[in-house]
Amino acid sequence: MSQARIVYLNGDFLPFAEARVPIMDRGFLFADGIYEVSAVLDGRLVDNEAHLARLDRSLGEIDIRNPHSLSEWVALQTDLVARNGLSEGLVYMQVTRGVYERDFAYPPADTAPTVMMFTQAKAVAKNPLAESGAKVITVPDLRWKRRDIKSVALLAQVLAKQQAAAAGVAEAWMVEDDAVTEGSSSTAFIITKGGTLVTRPLSTALLPGITRQAVLRLAAETGLTLEERLFGVAEAKDAAEAFYTSASAFVMPVVAIDGHVVGEGRPGAHTRRLRELYLGMARESV
Ligand code: PMP
């Protein structure tokens, strides 16, 4: 990035080093906040309205007033992307319950939420991992019971991702009651040898992935049969193909699970096609 990094904090666009949040911020003390991430490709936000709709829903689920309308969010994001000269990467948005003397119960209703956004430059489309395929490990799902809320409380995911890093792989798939819930920061999919695309149905057990939603829509064009149901690690290892999705990974082929080679050990044809379809959609999105 050529320009100095600019971030957004509570109404101001500031140089990164000048953006400060008080220690009594409830995001800092209690992880009492929500975040959202939209990808940027060719300088444009990808599937952004769906991300902003999920942000609104997550905020509502924990009684934080959404400080901005959809069009205000889009204007702020667009401004931030331009100020940072970002053509490819991510916009991160975070809203916490604001700053107040530490107390578990909510602060007074007129406490202003803390609103923060930053960008990250990242090769989301030309990601070399998508060429080779990613390896994943499986780990126990240690999280709370409202994973449909995109809370900033990500300690279990931090621990899972660190286990993946220590194992030299890109992602950890979390497992509960013998079924894969989702990746530590992605949605898990398999394609069976019979040509069925399988992913877990939405519930409070996992995040409703925005990329998941888009991929299920696009999969209708591929001739794959769709099944939203639980699947276990053994079934995933035995699948013809596997992949995970997220705003930053798009459609990421999985070539090994816990050291077991999936399919032919390289990105499968259906997965590559879904990635292409997704990239096509992303490049058209405004
Ligand atoms: N599950 C979890 C736990 C995640 O953190 C993410 C990434 N935010 C996803 C799924 C994928 O969601 P999306 O496609 O909306 O990025």
Each residue of 159-210: pLDDT tens digit? 999 999 999 999 999 999 999 999 999 999 999 999 999 999 999 999 999 9
Indicate which residue's Cα is closest to atom 5 of ligand 1: 185
Whether residue 162 lies inside any domain: the answer is yes
What mean pLDDT do residues 42-64 have?
98
Is the same domain home to 135 and 270?
yes
Please list, residue by residue across 21-56, b when 16 or more beta carbons sit within 10 angstroms of its beta carbon and e when fewer do.
Answer: eeeebbbbbeebbbbbbbbbbeebbbbbebbbebbb
Report the pocket of ligand 1 as residue ranges, CB < 6 Å. 37, 182, 185-187, 207, 209-212, 245-247
Indicate which residue's Cα is closest to atom 7 of ligand 1: 185
Is the same domain home to 111 and 237?
no
Is the same domain home to 175 and 41?
no
Whether residue 251 lies inside any domain: the answer is yes
Q: What is the pLDDT of residue 2?
A: 53
Is the same domain home to 49 and 89?
yes
Average pLDDT, the chain: 97
Whether residue 71 lies inside any domain: the answer is yes
**Tokens representing residue 22 in the block:** 């008080």
Question: Long-range contact list for 197-200, CB < 8 A, 24+ apart?
Answer: 197/224, 197/225, 197/226, 197/227, 197/270, 198/227, 198/228, 198/229, 198/231, 198/239, 199/228, 200/228, 200/229, 200/230, 200/231
φ, ψ for residue 22, nearest 5 deg: -60, 150
Return the bridge partners of 182, or none: 174
Is the same domain home to 87 and 144?
no
Active site residues per annotation: 150
Is the same domain home to 266 and 149?
yes
Q: Residue 148: is its pLDDT beyond 60?
A: yes
Is the same domain home to 87 and 141?
no
Domain count for the chain: 2
Is the same domain home to 279 and 141?
yes
> 70, 101, 121: which is the final residue of a domain?
121
Is the same domain home to 77 and 203?
no
φ, ψ for residue 81, nearest 5 deg: -60, -45
CB atoms within 10 A of CB 73: 24
Residues 70-111 pLDDT 10s: 999 999 999 999 999 999 999 999 999 999 999 999 999 999
Residues 8-22 pLDDT 10s: 999 999 999 999 999
> How far is ligand 1, taken at its centre, from the CA of residue 110, in Å?
31
Is the same domain home to 183 and 144?
yes
Residue 36: give its domain's CATH number: 3.30.470.10
> 93, 121, 149: which is the final residue of a domain?
121
> 121, 153, 185: which is the final residue of a domain?
121
The range of the structural domain enclosing residue 144 comes to 129-285
Residue 205: give its domain's CATH number: 3.20.10.10
Rounded CA separation 80/76 (Å)? 6
Q: Answer whether 0.95 is exceeded by the pTM.
A: yes
> How far is ligand 1, taken at its centre, from the CA of residue 184, in Å?
8
> How far is ligand 1, taken at its centre, from the CA of residue 208, in Å?
7
Rounded CA separation 262/242 (Å)? 7
Tell which residue, 59, 64, 55, has the closest CA to residue 36.
Answer: 55
